[in-house]
């Protein structure tokens, strides 16, 4: 028995900067995930696919209908988990994924928190505008407690709330300035956005748009694809955003000229 317990401990790797960065990337780039709740009628686990986004601090956001079974589940018992992580060709178990253990909090329609969360969600999932305003739909914040990260075979990590979320005054400052900055960049600086995507994010294709800013980086979208580009260093205040974007565009253009 002791040997089994020791082997279990050996499976979990020490949380480091790389595992934290991967976990945050999986959360930020996800557009959908598997939500697990407790079915109130039976007490059995119930899993369902939901669309996802994140708040500025990284907290997962979902938009769900009051008519769905999973909504009834988290209203009765807010404990839930969310599995995110995209797969590609080959063995699906070879791709990184993270299970987030959360408590769901319904945001009151018309409140500042709900308005910001809905804005962030629709920026990430624009097709949801078709039903977001319907009376039975609501935004829930999935308040994080901890997470299990599987980065591939033999690469398991346990992460806490502080590993996953951003904090500090810059979070709220960026949230307040975000939409005007997104509108300006997506309207007037599409070439710069493609530079961020291609040079810094190593993302293929042209025509990327920005779907979100936070103190750590920017979220991008191209059709159904998503991407994430980190800033050279975390923003200390919202006023740093314009300077960093200008510097990154300048650096990216210089690198493109040098390459070719």
pLDDT given for residue 259 in this prediction: 80
Same domain, 56 and 68: yes
Same domain, 23 and 144: yes
Same domain, 21 and 115: yes
Same domain, 82 and 137: yes
* 107-158 residue pLDDT tens: 999 999 999 999 999 999 999 999 988 889 999 999 999 999 998 888 899 9
Decide if 6 is inside a domain: no
Same domain, 196 and 160: no
pLDDT given for residue 120 in this prediction: 97
Last residue of a domain, one of 127, 144, 165: 165
- Percent residues over pLDDT 90 in the chain: 85
Name the pLDDT band for 1 (thresholds 50, 70, 90).
very low
Mean pLDDT of the chain: 93
Last residue of a domain, one of 165, 193, 214: 165
pLDDT given for residue 101 in this prediction: 98
Last residue of a domain, one of 165, 187, 211: 165
Decide if 203 is inside a domain: yes
Residue 4 has pLDDT above 80, yes or no: no
Burial class (CB in 10 A: 0-12, 13-18, 19+), 91: exposed
Expressed as residue numbers, the domain containing 27 is: 11-165
Measure Cα distances from 136 to 23, 75, 100, 118, 140 in Å.
Answer: 32, 13, 25, 14, 13
Do 62 and 50 contact (CB within 8 A), yes or no?
yes
Burial class (CB in 10 A: 0-12, 13-18, 19+), 214: buried
As given in the structure block, the two tokens for residue 258 are 């040098």
Prediction pTM value: 0.91
Decide if 4 is inside a domain: no
* 33-89 residue pLDDT tens: 999 999 999 999 999 999 999 999 999 999 999 999 999 999 999 999 999 998 888
């Amino acid at each position: 028995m002791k040997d089994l317990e020791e082997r279990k401990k050996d499976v979990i790797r020490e949380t480091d900067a790389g595992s934290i960065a991967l976990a945050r990337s999986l959360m930020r780039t996800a557009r959908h995930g598997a939500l697990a709740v407790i079915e109130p009628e039976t007490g059995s686990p119930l899993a369902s696919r939901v669309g996802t986004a994140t708040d500025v601090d990284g907290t997962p956001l979902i938009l769900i209908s009051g008519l769905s079974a999973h909504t009834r589940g988290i209203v009765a018992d807010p404990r839930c988990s969310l599995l995110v992580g995209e797969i590609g060709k080959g063995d699906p178990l070879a791709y990184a994924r993270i299970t987030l253990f959360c408590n769901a909090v319904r945001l009151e329609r018309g409140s500042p928190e709900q308005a910001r969360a809905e804005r962030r969600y629709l920026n990430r999932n624009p097709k949801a505008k078709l039903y977001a305003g319907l009376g039975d739909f609501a935004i829930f914040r999935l308040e994080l407690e901890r997470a299990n990260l599987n980065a591939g075979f033999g690469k398991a990590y346990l992460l806490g709330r502080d590993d996953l979320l951003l904090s500090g005054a810059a979070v709220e400052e960026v949230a307040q300035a975000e939409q005007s900055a997104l509108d300006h960049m997506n309207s007037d600086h599409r070439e710069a956005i493609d530079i961020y995507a291609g040079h810094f994010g190593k993302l293929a294709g042209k025509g990327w748009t920005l779907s979100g800013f936070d103190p750590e980086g920017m979220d991008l979208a191209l059709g159904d694809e998503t991407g994430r580009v980190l800033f050279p260093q975390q923003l200390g205040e919202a006023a740093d955003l314009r300077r960093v974007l200008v510097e990154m565009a300048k650096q990216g253009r210089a690198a493109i000229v040098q390459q070719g």
